[in-house]
Chains A and B, each alone.
Chain A
């Protein structure tokens, strides 16, 4: 009684005594206690009562058709199974296709006027950025983006052309649906709603705007070149379901450090059938970089430049990864159908043991709207819908960010630029290796014999931000110099059958959309224990 934990331990023995799970010594202790302690007698009676109550629940038999249903699925699985799925990075060909897809995605980003650029940037951030211009390997990209936006604003025609092109190519090349759709869906909105305030704020951009206005036409030509190649890529990558090429929804998670260390998130993903692609094979990433660069050459010089940039960053990341294992942050890009993403979010939401807080698109108030507008409608909706899983507080400041006072990198902004490669994940994930092509993959998925429900790639934060750690400050997630890399690691593949009931339920939640979406999970280590979740099993 004086020592509550000792008391609980004693009572725990009572419980185990009931189950006959004690050592002889412990049993003797308990029996001695029971002989003399009325409270212990009472407790054991209560425990026995509870135990009997549960045991006396009526037994339920499996539904009559269960076995039949299982066997039908087993037969289907047997028919569909073709050995382990090929994964990006395992074959040279995979990397070539991956590179093509990345190049295509980069081009999409280049031709796509981006609303996020129009967000009014805090003067401080701009200044900091300007001062860092020379060392910032990303300095080119934002400048380019700003000018590009200028083009879009000044010459809506250019955007319209892109759109037309996209529309025209759509019927011809259904496989490149993602490309055309994304262009079609994201082009008009930002142009229409672009505020002009921030445009003027950037002198470089203003100056370059006219110059680039002319450049936009040749560029659309190269778009069509790329589209031709990307349609080939699409054939390989995503036959049935292609993510809308909108912005990535960002989910911020405050995780216990141990959860990050233990890769709890990978397990969460795995339990939802999301396979984490290996990212720790440095040779392969080198190869990828190589391919990326070449793919860039073959399409456009600009892409090449970006490819090189990414190449530089990736190799830098590898360096840093070797050097540091602090694992304070983990950035994982997940591509999966909304149902899967919802189910991951539910897991995050309910796992208070590992995750202290979850916030979807946790940006500063005034940013949310702008960021939301930049998204494709699907991404916007997803972000809103996922909001129901917000839980706890994800602190919007961090010691690393604000105390160091180093220049910030506006992560949220750059997220929609070049930081997150608009990865095309291998399509085979949805159909057990893509054996029967798109239709078969879709059917297999419906039948519940899909082996994976999505794919994930761990991004080293530095890859996105150029040797910068992500940090919250002033309500924004930013990168800050000084890297804390996430160690890339491959979780063994977990095959997951898609249960019909659950699929139904999640489908309702996610509005029935099936096209894979991309969500960037940013997990930060934190220590605060959540105020809620009183009934958790914390002492273990």
Chain B
């Protein structure tokens, strides 16, 4: 039995502390992804997802990893949430105090977004994507999920994951192009 399985069994047996350990194991990872997806509502959504995972734990069949299952709950919540945050999805909380969009910044190096402005730029670019694109980018780039895991979490065929991820990247490229000077390597096809 894996640690997860043991903790799940203990939780189902009534040991909520065991569930607390599961929360401890996964909350940061989940939060880090969701904060890119829904901004400052990540706190609420992670909480909701974890509580929901607890109440639905008896339906977890162990066909996938617990984490994938938890992710599915969280991303479903996040997607409904994103849809209902009117348009576009607000990541305002994260941007608060960052000032208006800089237009005169220097090109950022590819590796590492050290500057707050750059982080903001990437954020606002992500923010302008559709929820579907943003979701798949987060799962792949932030979370490092494999295609089959993404397919599992989002309940999509792997082929769709592949094509959507490609289009999401292209969409993000278009958003980033004027900002991070991607135009240096602009599409010249």
| Residues of chain A having any CB pair with chain B under 8 Å | 1, 8, 11-12, 14-16, 19, 21, 39, 42-43, 45-47, 49-63, 66-67, 69-71, 73-75, 77-78, 81, 271-272, 342-343, 346-347, 349-351, 448-449, 451, 495-502, 505-506, 535-537, 539-540
- Of A46, A496, A499, A540, the residue contacting B173 (CB under 8 A) is A46
* A12 B162 Cβ-Cβ under 8 A: yes
Chain A residues closer than 8 Å to B64, beta-carbon distance: none
Q: How far is the CB of A239 from chain B (nearest CB, A)?
A: 22
* A536 B130 Cβ-Cβ under 8 A: yes
B141 at the interface (CB under 8 A from A): yes
* A67 B176 Cβ-Cβ under 8 A: no
A501 to B45, CA, bound (A): 9
Q: How far is the CB of B163 from chain A (nearest CB, A)?
A: 5
Chain A residues closer than 8 Å to B111, beta-carbon distance: 52, 56
Closest to B43 in A: A63
- Of B32, B47, B86, B141, the residue contacting A346 (CB under 8 A) is B86
A349 to B83, CA, bound (A): 8
Query: Within residues 157 to 187 of chain B, which ones have a CB less than 8 A from any CB in chain A?
Result: 160, 162-167, 169-173, 176, 180, 182, 185, 187
* B76 A62 Cβ-Cβ under 8 A: no
Q: How far is the CB of A432 from chain B (nearest CB, A)?
A: 10
Chain B residues closer than 8 Å to A49, beta-carbon distance: 110, 173, 182, 185
A449 to B119, CA, bound (A): 35
- Of A46, A58, A81, A448, the residue contacting B182 (CB under 8 A) is A46
B46 at the interface (CB under 8 A from A): yes
Number of contacting residues on B, CB 8 A? 76
Closest to A59 in B: B32
Q: Is the interface of A mostly helix, strand, loop or mixed?
A: helix
Q: How far is the CB of B176 from chain A (nearest CB, A)?
A: 6
| Residues of chain B having any CB pair with chain A under 8 Å | 16, 19-20, 23-24, 27-28, 30-32, 35-36, 40-48, 50-52, 54-56, 76-77, 80-87, 110-113, 119, 122-123, 126, 129-133, 137-138, 140-142, 146-147, 160, 162-167, 169-173, 176, 180, 182, 185, 187-189
Closest to B138 in A: A54
Closest to A75 in B: B16
* A46 B44 Cβ-Cβ under 8 A: no
Closest to B56 in A: A495
* A70 B47 Cβ-Cβ under 8 A: yes
* B51 A74 Cβ-Cβ under 8 A: yes
* A347 B84 Cβ-Cβ under 8 A: yes
A-B interface, 6 closest residue pairs, ranked by CB to CB distance from nearest: A346-B84, A15-B166, A62-B31, A499-B44, A501-B44, A54-B141
Q: A350-B84, A540-B163 are in contact. Are A451 and B55 (CB under 8 A)?
A: yes
- Of B48, B113, B189, the residue contacting A58 (CB under 8 A) is B113
Closest to A505 in B: B85
* B122 A351 Cβ-Cβ under 8 A: no
Chain A residues closer than 8 Å to B170, beta-carbon distance: 11, 47
Chain B residues closer than 8 Å to A536, beta-carbon distance: 130, 132
A375 to B83, CA, bound (A): 29
* B172 A54 Cβ-Cβ under 8 A: yes
Q: A42-B185, A536-B130 are in contact. Are A74 and B16 (CB under 8 A)?
A: yes
Chain A residues closer than 8 Å to B30, beta-carbon distance: 62
**Given A14-B166, A16-B165, A60-B32, 5 other A-B residues pairs in contact with their CB atoms under 8 A:** A15-B166, A271-B76, A346-B86, A350-B131, A502-B41
* B48 A499 Cβ-Cβ under 8 A: yes
Chain A residues closer than 8 Å to B138, beta-carbon distance: 54
Chain B residues closer than 8 Å to A448, beta-carbon distance: 48, 51
- Of B31, B55, B123, B180, the residue contacting A495 (CB under 8 A) is B55
Q: How far is the CB of A391 from chain B (nearest CB, A)?
A: 10
A-B contact pairs, 9 of them (CB 8 A): A15-B165, A54-B137, A56-B112, A62-B32, A70-B23, A495-B56, A497-B48, A537-B132, A539-B163
Q: How far is the CB of B104 from chain A (nearest CB, A)?
A: 20
A75 to B51, CA, bound (A): 10
* B113 A57 Cβ-Cβ under 8 A: yes
- Of B40, B83, B130, B187, the residue contacting A43 (CB under 8 A) is B187
* B43 A66 Cβ-Cβ under 8 A: yes
Closest to B109 in A: A56
- Greatest chain B CB density within 10 A among A59, A61, A66 is at A66
